[in-house]
Amino acid sequence: MKQGRDIRDAAIRKIDSNIEEIEDILIQYNTWLKLNAGLNNVKEAKKLIEIKKQLREICKGSITKEDLTEKEIKNPEFSHQGWNNQNQYFNIALSRLENLAESSQNFANQCYKDLENIILALESLKDVGKKTRSRLRTLKISEKFLLSNLILTRLKNYIESISMINGSGACQSIDTIAPSLSLSKILDDIRELYRPVEERYKEAEISIMSLENLTETEGEFHKSKDSFSKKFKTLSGIADVEPFRSNVEELGENASRVVEDYKLWRTEIEKTPLEKYVLHENINSLQSEVLFQSKSLTDITESLSNVWNSFVTEVKHFIGTINQLIQLVIKQKDSLTIKQIEKACDRLLNNIDNIDLSKLNRSMSYFESTKVEIRKAMMGVLKQSLNEVEGTILLVIVDKREKCDSGWFNMKEIIQEIANELNYSYSQVENLLRSLARKGYLVEGISIPI
């Protein structure tokens, strides 16, 4: 009896081991193919369960002569002592058990080989995206990168969905796919999955590269945004005269629209299906949009710098005009006032030229006030030898001379231009210019004799 139980238990343990492995494989198989196959759908599993049942039944009941097969009755190993000895029936039961155990062992060994191949195929399927999954897990993106973080979340969801390659939704009954499964069919199905899964991971790998490029571009966008904000804050406190104040305000509005457009992209992406922005083509397109927005902010920041540069250019033109007048006046008469005006011009130039705007503690109106004081002082010097109208005309001409390349003006053109600007008649301006020429400030033609 003990010998029979040992044979049965050994065979059953082997069967149970195979059945457990089949159950584990079915869990993964169902996950990949979105099925709900069970042991009762696998031919080998059903056969193993049936063998297990037969092994137990042999050990349960007793055998009578009526239960014997013709082959067993004729077998001399059992019949040579006749059938009155009950031990003969035990020997037949033991023989049946041994034969069934041997048969089950051979079948279990074959199942074991199939199971090993299936396990290897499943491991290959798991490993195919291992590098990609690891790369995605280690990708760190700043929270302020709105678009990159959104794409990262979508890519993670996409990677998870690859294990459900047949799509989302409820599991399909195995009966709708195939009436019965075999281990060889399971192996074939898993191997067939490898190529499409591999292709999807390759696509995901390219999309991750596109995401990294997007992240880099988004970083440049935020650098441009921060650079603009810093310069805008500085110039907003400096540009308090027109048209520079309006120019700065307009550029601020332009930058705000660019930033709002950037934020709107997140809303637009959230409205789209998951699949759209996991495709590298769409991520690349998004990167191009962010790159354009980044360049727009850089251009706006440069325009902010140009607002200050334009103001500085105006001040330099003014200083150049005053210096030209000083040279004219010195020829007529030198004075302490002129030297004071020269020093005031030097101070003004030093205060605005090649300076760090973030450290500037004076506004444009301060420098405009300084210009007014210098102009007033210069006009005071001119009044010593010229009347007010002559001084004004000379100041206009010198200013135009400072802003052009040539020292000569066409007489008729300059007369008409000044007449229009100062609301004088043509003859009035002509007489004033000739008066300035007689006093040595101009040479007819017209040029400034410096």
Show pLDDT as tens, one digit a residue, over the chain (450 residues): 566 667 777 888 888 888 899 999 999 888 888 888 888 889 988 988 888 887 777 666 565 555 555 555 555 555 445 445 555 555 556 666 777 778 878 888 888 899 999 999 998 888 888 888 888 888 889 999 999 999 999 998 888 887 655 444 444 555 555 557 899 999 999 888 888 888 888 999 999 999 999 999 999 999 999 999 999 999 998 999 999 999 999 999 999 999 999 999 999 888 888 778 788 999 999 999 999 999 999 999 999 999 999 999 889 888 888 887 787 777 666 566 788 888 899 899 988 888 888 888 889 999 999 988 988 888 787 777 777 787 787 777 777 776 665 556 667 777 887 888 888 888 888 888 888 777 777 766 655 554
> Cα-flanking dihedrals φ and ψ of residue 443, to 5°?
-115, 130
Predicted pLDDT of residue 284: 94
Nearest 10 degrees: Cα torsion 187, 190, 194, 195: 90
Predicted pLDDT of residue 288: 95
CA distance 304 to 255: 11
Supply 187's token pair: 């192996």
Three-class SS state of 197:
helix
Predicted pLDDT of residue 168: 44
* In contact, 46 and 26? CB cutoff 8 Å: no
Predicted pLDDT of residue 167: 44
Beta bridge partners of 287: none
Supply 239's token pair: 């540009």
Predicted pLDDT of residue 71: 57
Nearest to 290 by CA among 238, 225, 350: 225
CA distance 211 to 281: 11
- Which helix (H) or strand (E) segment is 232 a member of? helix 183-236
State CA 320 to chain mean position distance. 51
* In contact, 137 and 206? CB cutoff 8 Å: no
Nearest 10 degrees: Cα torsion 241, 242, 243, 249: 70
Three-class SS state of 222:
helix
> Cα-flanking dihedrals φ and ψ of residue 141, to 5°?
-130, 135
* In contact, 101 and 59? CB cutoff 8 Å: no
Predicted pLDDT of residue 166: 47
Query: Using alpha carbons only, what angle is made at residue 349 by residues 347 and 354, rounded to the nearest 5 degrees?
Result: 120
Count Cα atoms within 13 angstroms, Cβ side, for 181.
26
Cα distances from 216 to residues 145, 219, 221, 306, 402, in angstroms, run 10, 5, 9, 28, 47
